[in-house]
Amino acid sequence: MHIKPLNDRVLVLRIEEEEKTAGGLIIPDTAKEKPQQGEVIAVGPGKQNEDGKRIPLEVKPNDRVLFGKYAGNEIKIDGVEHLIMREDDILAVLE
């Protein structure tokens, strides 16, 4: 399935974190928090300003990003969980 987000929305796939702590302890699934890192899969064309011109997004597909714990809406695409969020919900791009 191909999805193209609208306006300033971004489709993000969460990147799973490691299951061990730095000390080597294995974290059970029930104690894990959802990762706050992801990879941008698709981006919309951008927001329109008052003049009707599009303002392009700063993120692009394949960027690794950080986002807030409760950012975006969860959706399933072909059985895989993704997030769709506004560009404003993205805190940083990892380089």
Enclosing H/E stretch for 43: strand 37-43
Asked: is 9-18+26-94 a CATH 2.30.33.40 domain? The reply is yes
> Six-digit token pair at 93?
């791009």
Would you kindly state where each structural domain of the chain is located, as residue ranges? 9-18+26-94
| DSSP H stretches of helix in the chain | none
Check: pTM over 0.85? Answer yes or no.
no
Residue-wise pLDDT tens digits, 5-45: 999 999 999 887 656 556 666 666 555 566 689 999 999 99
pLDDT attached to residue 45: 92
Handedness of CA 26, 29, 32, 34 (dihedral sign): positive
pLDDT attached to residue 16: 74
